[in-house]
Amino acid sequence: MLMCHQSQAKFEVVGHSDNLLSTTSVLLCVRFITMLVATLFACGCEGNVLHIASLDEEKIKDVKDYDLCKAYGTPLYGRTKKMKAEIVRRNLFTAEDLDLIDERKVRIGGPELMIPAAWGQPTTIHETRTRRGMHRQWVYRISNYQHSYAYSDNGIVTSTQN
């Protein structure tokens, strides 16, 4: 019987001569393979957090401001020294704003790039264009029943909601 089982947060495949596969074993194997393929694919995608985190100091200069801030705000792979150095080099934030971002805080009146720099990739961004310009609602899904929101008008953070 071919089985997949979880052992200390990694999957192992164990083969036997039987041709029977349990449904659970097959589902675990398919889940593992899907996660592996998705991770490998994501590493090569331009603008992806893993891709940006893997860039050297020269190549990171070509990353768009939004993608750099989004990657910097991602808890697992962001906040690298080279990302911070590039954000400082581009003068995207004041020193005070950068301190707030490192605490995962957003300042009302700050530049809208503070939102992804502090909180990472949003679940979605709703945009409304009016005579007064562009209004954005940044939605962050915390759990099935909890969301955090940030709002910006014409590139300036206007409010947050938890």
pTM for this predicted structure: 0.70
For residues 39 and 68, membership in a common domain is answered with no
For residues 137 and 59, membership in a common domain is answered with yes
The DSSP-derived string for 112-129 is TTHHHHHH-S-SEEEEEE
| 53 within 8 A of 78, measured Cβ to Cβ | yes
For residues 59 and 37, membership in a common domain is answered with no
For residues 7 and 64, membership in a common domain is answered with no
For residues 28 and 66, membership in a common domain is answered with no
For residues 21 and 94, membership in a common domain is answered with no
| 113 within 8 A of 66, measured Cβ to Cβ | yes
Structural domain including 38 reads 3-43
Provide the domain count of the chain. 2
For residues 73 and 134, membership in a common domain is answered with yes
For residues 17 and 60, membership in a common domain is answered with no
Question: pLDDT tens digits for 31-83?
Answer: 666 554 444 444 445 557 778 888 888 888 999 999 999 999 987 766 788 89
Token look-up 């720099």 returns 117
Q: How far apart are CA 82 and CA 114, in angstroms?
A: 18
Q: How far apart are CA 160 and CA 108, in angstroms?
A: 8
